[in-house]
Structure 1
Amino acid sequence: MAKQQQVVIVGGGVIGLLTAYNLAREGRAVMLLERAGLGQESSWAGGGIVSPLYPWRYSPAVTALAHWSQDFYPQLAQRLFGATGVDPEVHTTGLYWLDLDDEADALAWAAREGRPLSKVDVSQAHDAVPALGGGYSRAIYMADVANVRNPRLVKSLKAALLALPDVTIHEHCEVSGFVLNNNRVVGVNTATGSVFADQVVLAAGAWSGQLLSTLGMALPVEPVKGQMILYKCASDFLSSMVLAKGRYAIPRRDGHILIGSTLEHEGFDKTPTETALASLKASAVELIPALADAEVVGHWAGLRPGSPEGIPYIGEVPGFQGLWLNCGHYRNGLVLAPASCQLFADLLLGRAPIIDPAPYAPAGRLNAG
């Protein structure tokens, strides 16, 4: 594995995979190293709503990435499906928010940003989603919100990458640190030896902070546990995504329904708990009473890469030439991936960036450890 690579990417979640795909399509030789299996952490565990849960509560930095990604997702899915035959299933269902405390803020944000979010009578929500529980008095709706079937997106990205020339993927290959030449990062250390590269990209999700600390840099990315449950219903059972009291229901095309999610600061522990299972079931039945009679077919936990304000780190690390970050997407990795990875490719390849890169620049946002 000692061959010189143009780009080594540390982390095989959706961010690492799409970063690799964008660079490989531009002719870069790419090696991607993943400590476990591709996309088995946050990318696999999330719900896949292609919108922040409460988009109006985020800074313009997150909004800019989210808008670009939402508009780009359908063509990305089409391109991947065409190249691989694996459909990431971008499923446009719309989303109803019920009984929001900050409804006025949401509507003001939509007017300001030109997004198709509007107040609707709660009876309209019940007509559109007959399975919805009673007891809600207010609703707002955004028509064009989609969800992506994240495990299929990972599968599709892997297949698309392996079909490109000069791409190598090593799963179950943990990176323990970086190879330095003066202040330049020239590679990474793994259990099977060092891998040298012109550029190293850290896209290791919740593990990114730990890795960067080996260089004495403090990156405020920490694991935030989230638990989800899954039901299987008829394919037409739930026609739209619904969200109330911080919990959501997401329908897949085949009748699977995801209910999420908890927010827990438990370090790197991702054991599913009975407490969360009971809490998620209660939320499920409140949102959709008929789920009281449905069987839970899955319950899991994942670790989100928590970051201040959920603003990712995208760009070169100051003081360490050759080391780049694309990490810290917190709850919105799947939402922000297309824009983050396009912006990242623009910066690494020296092209005009799709949006202003300043808010995501690591400079000024990292501290010496």
Structure 2
Amino acid sequence: METTQTIKLSKLIHREKEIISLHFTYNAELQQCVKSLIGYKWSHTHKAWYFENRPGILSELFNAFKGKAWLDYSTVKNNSTALVLGSARITEHPSSRLGLLNERQKAKVTEFKKWMLSKRYSKNTVHTYTDALTTFLRYHSTKNTENLNNHDLIDFNNHYILANKFSASYQNQVVSAIKLFFRKVENKKLDPELIDRPKRPKLLPNILSKEEVKELLEKTSNLKHKAMLSLIYACGLRCGELLRLKPEHLDCNRNLLIIKQSKGRKDRITPLSSKILVLLKEYNKIHEPRLYLFEGQKPGGMYDERSLQQVLKTNLLKTSIKKPVTLHWLRHSYATHLLENGTDLRYIQELLGHSSSRTTEIYTHVSTKSLQTITSPFDYL
């Protein structure tokens, strides 16, 4: 087959993750090539197949489409991977050593996935752990799971994860997935503790000042968009929590918002200020939502997360704010401003839905109220 068809690769942000999208005219053979790779998904927003932008994904794509199509990757060039378009020469990323799963391995991955679903693990955890286990088994594609041992685990860590300079977060995910799989599915003693879990960097949350939040909301003229961004900040919501809200979750009589099945499958309530209630009543009167509080283009359909991110980006351009703000910054800002207003840390933990107070305590490091009362010894010189 001549390589006449071109596939345009684009680097995008989708559901707060960086992805590589594939745009091409419908072709059954090319579609099968996409489905032969691990981690493929379809985006209704972008009308394209996509993969999470993970290390080695470009090499996997070029290997899959070699001789079948041209890949235009001009906008997503990765310096760590040297590729020559239209040529048989490919300088492969080390991760291209991954083989294909045999039938027994596929069955084990499926069994692991079904077990996690039966235990009601979150959709994201199921996807992450399944993908991590699949990568481990692909690295050892010539072995069946019953033949894998601690030496294979150490080899995978040293010659795949560390050799490819994958992140500490990725290493922790893989170790957790392998540990769970062998303990619960294989009932086999494989010791992931032989691999030292890297310490995660302790990053401070990014926040906006009260003045910056006010400017952003004032510059948001569209009523629905203003209501959505305002509610995230007013109640410290995660993006997914906002989008899953339904009209009946607003308890206007008690000035409360009920958040159903948030992270960790927990329900929680948070107070609604009189100011945000006025805005929401105005929104409800005009838009009359049916199923979800904030619906997309189709009545009764959930508002798209990517569209909300674009709403934020568009309205930021109208402000003087030059920071790379994300929707989660509004949640961080809510918690920090509560702390600066004197709210007890324990209450903030409940309002945010944190299981551990240690998670909430990070906001004490970005609250400036106490810091501003400290006099530098430099002033006494």
Same fold (TM over 0.5): no
Of structures 1 and 2, the one with the larger relative CO (CA 8 A, separation 6+) is 1
The structure with the largest strand share of the pair is 1
Larger Rg: 2
Shorter-chain TM-score: what band? Answer: under 0.3
Q: Which is helix-richer, 1 or 2?
A: 2
